[in-house]
Structure 1
Amino acid sequence: MSGQGTSAWPELKRHWPTLLGATIGAAFGSAALPFYTAGLFIVQLEQAFGWTRTELTAIGLATTLTVAVAAPFAGALFDRVGIRGPALVGFAALAANFVYMSQLQGSLVQYAIVHLALAVLMMGTSPIAFTRPVNFAFDRMRGLALGITIGGIGAMAAVAPPIVAQFIETNGWRAAYLALAAAVIVAGPLALLLVGWRAPDARRSPEPAAVAQRLVTPIRSRLFWRLVVSFVLIALGVAGFVTHFVPMLTDGGMSTLEAARVAGLLGVAVLVGRLGVGWLVDLYFAPYVAAGIMALTAGGLALLALGGPDFAVVGAIAVGLAMGAEVDLIAYLTARYYGMSHYGRMYGLLYGAFVIGTGASPYVISLIQAASGSYAPALWMSVALLAIVTVLFLTAPRFDAPPEDEGLAADLIELKE
């Protein structure tokens, strides 16, 4: 256990503008504002142009895969030039995307091409970018600071949909897209101004020996693949239930209204997971905290599989906690294990793996449900995946442990044994 101590609060007093700016940037960035408002426009686009949900979903999946591939390259760029230039380009691209959407004329191919191209440019507004200055600024309360930053995404998920839905109802969908563009134009520069005020010096002291050695051949180490497998399995086992939660409960006999009310607990649990895990990893060894969260989530999903809608609240809290914890853990563990000199590249690799798992999860769960006629097998699959993740985190090395010098092949052989 390592307490935050009295040195934590001077960090906050000195670097609160960085934290506030990063939180605003993450909330109005590509992982939040466009993602959590996209569903509000689907019916409008269907009615205006005759596009199908399958077509729109396919473009969304292609965008997810594009982000996953681009993430490590974007992270490496942030390592070289910092985030201000790429973030400025990213916010400009995000605003341009909303303006373009307001002027749509019905070409699905053009829509897809523009969407994919701008998704790459908007990487400068992703969590890869805005967790970087927070990691530089905070050490003693790094976990909580990251939880607050990523919590901005959860806050946007709660606030934006009802506001945008009301705006669409009152002013139409084209005007709503222009309003979103205006919000980005205001919030983006404000976020960058705050991040740049009393920004921490990126030229820190040399990384510890263990960190420096891990960066020699990072993707050949057992640690890297332990983290990749862990984050992919969490995303694969949990993320899809965000989409399937209401259908799962209604299949079990719950009314749509009741199911929607229970599903609302997901957002609350996500926010609690981000802030709570951030606070706990400042006090205890982070992989042990992660193992505890995953074990609790597995238990909650097991109860949901056994008891059905009677344990719907438990299931919602379990899914929300895991989803809230994961992105925070990626940022925290990347900084602790690999330091900051190559933070963007390493976070990009792990974040890309997480995005792939997140994109595949709803499809995998739907396949299992279609084949079995029930969500119970998918729930038990998730319990098994989270049990594996719990073991991987419980056996993770200490942050200052010397890295393994075996090659990847030897690592895989040892894991099989």
Structure 2
Amino acid sequence: MKRPFGQNYAFVVAACVFLALLAAAGLRSAPGVLMLPLERAFGWDRATVSAAAAVGIFLYGLTGPFAASMMQSFGVRRTVSLALLLMAVSTGLSSFMTQPWQYVATWGVLAGVGSGAVAMVLGATVVNRWFVARRGLMMGLLTASTATGTLVFLPAMAWLAEHAGWRPVVLTIAGVTAVLAPVVWLLLPERPADIGQTPYGAPADYQPPPAPAGGALAYAFQTLGRAARTRTFWLLFLGFFVCGLTTNGLVGTHLIAMCGDYGMSETRAAGLLAMMGLFDLVGTTASGWLTDRYDPRKLLFAYYALRGLSLIVLPFTDFSIVSLSLFAVFYGLDWIATVPPTVRLATDAFGDRDGPIVFGWIAAGHQAGAATAAITAGVLRAAEGRYLEAFVLAGFTGFAAAIASLMIRRQTRPGAFA
């Protein structure tokens, strides 16, 4: 079916995907807001609440490569629409929970799987399918939806949690994701050819990569098997493990609770994360622009090294609003600026068709790192009564990722494994 705007309809697709990613980002940021309200409502300790967040983060990442493969065989529109419905149902059901296992089942398992299908692999798949020109910039913009989701949802969720309790927070997330499912179904064609178009910036004789043979599950593992024989894959996997450890897992899950240890309200602490979201919107978009022009390995080195330094410094500040605001600005600019150069390196090394699936496995490393930090920081806080050790250790992992990034071999022939 023909759609308006010609090749520019790719930007309508990008906007639709941006909204879906924004909703998933709001869902994934909610456990940080829910931590203190759930402690007050049920008496659950920090380690128990962190466990559910860790399960959700881990499954969010583990779902990625299978979701990318499903998008190749089952379809992007079907996969994303069903994932949004699963997110709506799981978060809605959590409003009835009374036991910790129910929180793990709804927000950990079901919401983790649902949001994992509406994650960075979706952005990579859509960008590779709908754009030939400006891929880095568009990947930066779609990645920035995570920051925008934090910016839009977090202060409102924190205000709701502080004044009305945790249930309005989960019902809000359920409502937003339920509304977006039919929007995606209506506005997201499967491929440019389905509306008589070629990808944005593609020449007239453009030929899309062939669809993979076999089932989604088998193809995901076949692609992993080929990628795992390369040094590029493991270095990117290591870097993204650290990326998740230092962002979603540590800061995203525990910063509000850490600020609470210093007497700061949830709403005010959530405002700091929202400020990070605002500056990450700028930083990640700029990173996409830079990725189109400069060596992505050197960009990753700078991002990881500066991130590690900021995490080590934070616990030794006075935690005044000035020092925390400076941290929020600096850390926000670097929050997930790593995604565009990582996607670029994966696509260059593994090709347009397999690149998103390989990136899905790399993104699984991101969430494995995030889950590790979420549970470890919670355990350390329960044992030591402070977050100092967790932040310093995370900072040193940033330096390790920076060094690993420079060891990646640059592949400039899309389609070949290297």
Contact 1:88 1:124 in 2 (8 A): no
Is 1:204 aligned to 2:213, yes or no? no
Shift of 1:159: 1.4
In 2, Cα distance between the equivalents of 1:167 and 1:367?
A: 27
Pick one of 131, 136, 140 that aligns with 1:138: 131
Shift of 1:350: 0.5
What TM-score, normalized to structure 2? 0.75
Contact 1:287 1:396 in 2 (8 A): yes
- Tell me the equivalent position of 2:264: 256
**The structure with more radius of gyration:** 1
Letter in structure 2 aligned against 1:142: R
Is 1:271 aligned to 2:264, yes or no? no
Listed one character per residue, the Cα deviations across residues 187-224 of structure 1 (whole Å, up to 9, x for unaligned) are: 222234333287366961579xxxxxx98821011111
Contact 1:294 1:389 in 2 (8 A): yes
Is 1:284 aligned to 2:279, yes or no? no
What TM-score, normalized to structure 1? 0.75
Work out the percentage of aligned pairs sharing the same amino acid: 22
In 1, Cα distance between the equivalents of 2:314 and 2:31?
A: 29
Shift of 1:248: 6.5
- Tell me the equivalent position of 2:372: 360
In 2, Cα distance between the equivalents of 1:110 and 1:384?
A: 35
Contact 1:98 1:177 in 2 (8 A): yes
Listed one character per residue, the Cα deviations across residues 27-51 of structure 1 (whole Å, up to 9, x for unaligned) are: 123xx13222344455665566665
Shift of 1:172: 7.1
Tell me, what secondary structure is at the counterpart of 2:409?
A: coil
In 1, Cα distance between the equivalents of 2:135 and 2:41?
A: 47
Contact 2:308 2:394 in 1 (8 A): yes
Tell me, what secondary structure is at the counterpart of 1:325?
A: coil
Contact 1:297 1:321 in 2 (8 A): no
Residue 366 to residue 12, structure 1, CA distance change in 2 (3 Å):
farther
- Tell me the equivalent position of 1:399: 411
Pick one of 158, 161, 172 that aligns with 2:154: 161
Pick one of 83, 88, 106 that aligns with 2:98: 106
Shift of 1:91: 1.4
Contact 2:84 2:178 in 1 (8 A): yes
- Tell me the equivalent position of 1:27: 22
Is 1:191 aligned to 2:180, yes or no? no
Contact 1:79 1:344 in 2 (8 A): no
Is 1:228 aligned to 2:201, yes or no? no
Residue 311 to residue 168, structure 1, CA distance change in 2 (3 Å):
closer
Contact 1:215 1:338 in 2 (8 A): no
Contact 1:21 1:192 in 2 (8 A): no
In 2, Cα distance between the equivalents of 1:390 and 1:307?
A: 24
Letter in structure 1 aligned against 2:264: T
Tell me, what secondary structure is at the counterpart of 1:196?
A: coil
Contact 1:18 1:199 in 2 (8 A): no
Alignment of 1:372-387 (within 5 A): 381-387=393-399
- Tell me the equivalent position of 2:333: 321
Shift of 1:351: 0.7
Contact 1:368 1:375 in 2 (8 A): yes
Listed one character per residue, the Cα deviations across residues 139-183 of structure 1 (whole Å, up to 9, x for unaligned) are: 331122112112222112111133345566888765654443332
- Tell me the equivalent position of 1:3: none
Letter in structure 2 aligned against 1:234: C
Moved more, 371-380 or 47-56: 371-380
Moved more, 334-343 or 380-389: 380-389
In 2, Cα distance between the equivalents of 1:99 and 1:242?
A: 22
- Tell me the equivalent position of 1:414: none
Shift of 1:22: 1.1
Contact 1:83 1:124 in 2 (8 A): no
Residue 290 to residue 348, structure 1, CA distance change in 2 (3 Å):
same
Is 1:18 aligned to 2:13, yes or no? yes
Moved more, 85-94 or 259-268: 259-268
Is 1:94 aligned to 2:102, yes or no? no
- Tell me the equivalent position of 1:127: 120
